[in-house]
Structure 1
Amino acid sequence: MSDTLEILLTNDDGIDSVGIRAIHDALVEHANANVTVVAPASDQSACGRSISHGGEIGLVDHELGYAVEGTPADCVVAGLAELGPDPDLVVAGCNRGANLGEYVLGRSGTISAAVEAAFFDVPAIATSMYVPVDETPLREIDLSTDDFREARRVTTYLAEYALDAGVFDHAAYLNVNVPTPGKRPAPIEITRPSKRYEMDAEATDGSVTLHDRVWESMDPETIPDPDGTDRRAVAEGRISISPLTAPHSTNHHETLTELAETYHDRVATADD
């Protein structure tokens, strides 16, 4: 690896979001990085690994790099295959709002950008910031680049040191979640994704309303998430880093193997 890091930067909040500007400037200023930005032209939050099919995707120059009329996964494919130099690292974020828990991993566009990079065998960091909400919708909360200072610090630190330390010999990507920044840098905890799931739905005449209740309380005194999980760490004011793998792996399953062995005989008997 050269002395200058080559980084592909993307997000799912859109190229004009405050979070991507904060991370871009920090990587350029403090990580000795050449940063190529390829990010969605508009907000693509919660799009997962959706990818555009069957046609051209709009692409325009932007002061940070390239704005793509598509998803974060589109941006990673375009950036790695065509628009940028071969990167040492892909960074996604910083996302406005945390990405915590197993069920969020497949839904988040930020995480999905990191997973897409893994299929190219490029290590990745996905960074998100927990933003407390009450009655004000998350998208209406006004944030400045300074509000992302915790995210800037830890993302820059990992970009500078994780590759040479061999972190990505054991992880395809890092899911990083930072708490609301305080006066001093928060401590880091290596975590696992919480298994807590609190989606439900309510049907009324002609519609169904989905509720994600997992965000209704982040009080560390009352949340049920155990020690060692990402939600517990962030709720208690620590930076959560979950080292994760991709693509999905399979487990040896003796019962399924036995069931498969009886398939032919049972189906043939049923058809007789």
Structure 2
Amino acid sequence: MTLEILLTNDDGIDSTGIRALHDTLASHANVTVVAPATDQSACGRSMSHEVDVSEHELGYAVHGTPADCVIAGLAELGPKPDLVVAGCNKGANLGEYLLGRSGTISAAVEAAFFDIPAIATSMYVPVDGDDLDAVDLSVDDYAEATRITSYLADNTLESGVFDHAAYLNVNVPVANGEPAPVEVTRPSQRYEMDAEQNGERIHLHDRVWESMDPETIPDPDGTDRRAVAEGRISISPLTAPHTTSTHDTLETLLERYCADNAAPTEL
């Protein structure tokens, strides 16, 4: 039976990364593309109440966010997929703090709430400064991303991987001709945001990208950032929603609150 895939992204339907994934996945799966009409990078799980949709040579262009695209694709625009794939994003999505910020990852999280397994694929592009837009990438540069994503799409569903993970956050290096080694990782906990005021404006800076040198990167072994900085493919199996099953300390605290305030409690 042919695999059904819903493909989306946050860079926009005309980006090179989604074209690269489409062309590879469509060679052996039924691919329905539902992607933002324009760049929606770093929009997180922002959602719209109503969006315009237009036909595109790859599928459907939605004038909204990646979360809009997943909901519209699953509920209306395509057949029920076996798998949702988001990407390939131009730029890495690494670390815990980006899990709620990235539109690419947010598309996978949205799928998880529909109980559809998902893969979010991003490519680390080393740049001086933050200007990824100035980097011109071809479909061939995404060869590492298409190879690993295609393999995961073909093999994870029957392997039981998604019995324990809702989605996979995949980050790859730019292709250099040889397949990169692969590592199962956990998201780095580094967070280095700061802000600087200049007159009436506040400039926000993400300093974490300033230390990606593989010789000096401070992230520990086993983290997504270290793996990618050292040239490996990082695959982090993740869950959604992010909850704890029990919390005895909080239950005790609330029992005390209820006793002090004569309030009923259901713990």
Instruction: Note the alpha carbon deviations across 1:43-86, whole angstroms, 9 max, x for none.
Output: 00000011113xx3110000000000100000000000111001
What percentage of residue pairs aligned between the two structures are identical?
75
Q: CA deviation at 1:205?
A: 1.2
Instruction: Note the alpha carbon deviations across 1:172-191, whole angstroms, 9 max, x for none.
Output: 10000001222210011000
Q: 2:91 aligns with which of 90, 97, 100?
A: 97
Matched with 1:184 is 178
2:140–2:175 Cα contact (<8 Å) kept = no
Matched with 1:194 is 188
Matched with 1:108 is 102
Q: 1:127 aligns with which of 117, 121, 129?
A: 121
- In the superposition, the TM-score normalised over structure 1's length comes to 0.94
Q: 2:53 aligns with which of 40, 55, 59?
A: 59
Q: 2:141 aligns with which of 141, 144, 147?
A: 147
**SS of the residue 2:169 aligns to:** strand
Count of residues paired in the alignment: 263
Q: Which segments of 5 or more consecutive residues in structure 1 lack a partner in the other structure?
A: none
- Matched residues in 1 for 2:13 and 2:146: separation? 17
Matched with 1:9 is 7
Distance change >3 Å, CA 136–CA 174, structure 1 → 2: closer
Q: 2:198 aligns with which of 179, 204, 217?
A: 204
Matched with 1:48 is 44
Q: 1:38 aligns with which of 34, 39, 59?
A: 34
2:185–2:222 Cα contact (<8 Å) kept = yes
**SS of the residue 2:154 aligns to:** helix
Q: Which segments of 5 or more consecutive residues in structure 2 lack a partner in the other structure?
A: none
Superposition CA RMSD, Å: 1.3
Matched with 1:226 is 220
- Matched residues in 2 for 1:189 and 1:39: separation? 29
- In the superposition, the TM-score normalised over structure 2's length comes to 0.96
Q: CA deviation at 1:255?
A: 2.1
Q: 2:162 aligns with which of 141, 164, 168?
A: 168
